[in-house]
Amino acid sequence: MKNKLILGAAFLLAAITESLACTNLIVGKGASVDGSVIVSYSADSYGMFGELYHYPAGMHEKGTMRDIYDWDSGKYLGQIKEARQTYNVIGNMNEFQVTIGETTFGGREELVDSTGIMDYGSLIYVALQRSRTAKEAIQVMTDLVKEYGYYSSGESFSIADPNEVWILALIWHLQFVYHRVNCRNCIIVCHRFVKSWVLSNRSSISLWILILTHGPLAIQRFL
C-alpha cells in the first residue's frame, strides 16, 4: 500500500510539474509484481489522437532505398539504405516486444543540423523494424545518426525489450549517451534531459522523478 501511495504521489507531481510534456513511465522487471518490463508513452501532441502505425514485416532487395520524412512536419529529408529484412511493427512495439518511447527536451536552435536525414520519429520506427532486442535498437539508432545525421532536437528515448530497459539521450552533432535502467527501478522521464542516472537502493525499490529545471538537475526521491 505504501508503494502505491508513493507511486500515486509521483504521478501527481509529474503532472503538475510538466502537464504538457511527452512522458515515459519505466518499470523494471524486478519492480513489477509478475516480472514484466513496462514502458508507457504519452505523446502530448494535438492532432495525433487515434493514430496507430503499422509497418508489416518484409524482405527487401539489396540496394533498395527508403524515403525519410520528418515525423512532425512531413518534410522530405532524404533516403537511407533499406535493411534486407524488416520486422512487423504495430504502434511503438515490434514482433519481438521491443518498444521505444520518447520525450523531447529540445536544445539550442543554432546547433540544428539542417542536413541531417534521420529525425527522432524515423529513428524510432526504423529501429523497431530492424531490432530484436533493446541493445540492437540502440546500435541501429546510433549507427543511423552517424551515417545520415540527426535532424531533430534533443530527445530522450526509452528503449525496452522483455528483459531490460535502456535510456538513450541524443542531441545535435551526434552527441549521445545511453544507460541501462536498473531492473529494480521505476522511473518517470518527462520532457527533460536525464543528466544523472538512477541507482537503486540495496534494500528497496527506488522510485525517482527526473526533472531538469532551468538550473541544476532536481532529483526527488520518494522511497
Q: Is the pLDDT of residue 213 over 50?
A: no
The cell numbers describing 204, all together, are 528497496
The cell numbers describing 20, all together, are 504538457
Q: Is the pLDDT of residue 23 over 60?
A: yes
* Contact between residue 198 and residue 10 where contact means Cβ atoms under 8 Å apart: no
Structure confidence at residue 26 (pLDDT): 86
- Segment 120-144 shows an average pLDDT of 95
β-pairing verdict for 23-27 and 58-59: unpaired
Q: Which of 127-141, 173-187, 192-206 holds the top average pLDDT?
A: 127-141
Q: Which residue has the higher pLDDT, 117 or 3?
A: 117
Under the banding of pLDDT at 50, 70 and 90, the label for residue 40 is confident
Which residue bears the cell 546510433?
142
Closest Cα to residue 165, out of 98, 102, 210? 98
Average pLDDT, the chain: 77
3-state SS assignment for residue 118? strand
Structure confidence at residue 18 (pLDDT): 44
Structure confidence at residue 223 (pLDDT): 28
Length of the chain equals 223
Q: Is the pLDDT of residue 128 over 90?
A: yes
Q: What is the pTM of this model?
A: 0.77
3-state SS assignment for residue 80? strand
Least confident stretch, 13-22, 125-134, 169-178 = 13-22
E strand residue ranges, the chain = 23-27, 38-42, 54-55, 58-59, 65-69, 76-81, 85-86, 89-90, 93-94, 99-106, 154-160, 165-171, 175-180, 186-190, 207-212, 217-221
Structure confidence at residue 19 (pLDDT): 45
Structure confidence at residue 192 (pLDDT): 58
Q: Which residue has the higher pLDDT, 123 or 221?
A: 123
pLDDT in tens, 87-109: 999 999 999 999 999 888 777 77
Structure confidence at residue 204 (pLDDT): 37
Structure confidence at residue 178 (pLDDT): 67
The cell numbers describing 2, all together, are 505504501
- Segment 59-87 shows an average pLDDT of 96
* Contact between residue 154 and residue 113 where contact means Cβ atoms under 8 Å apart: no
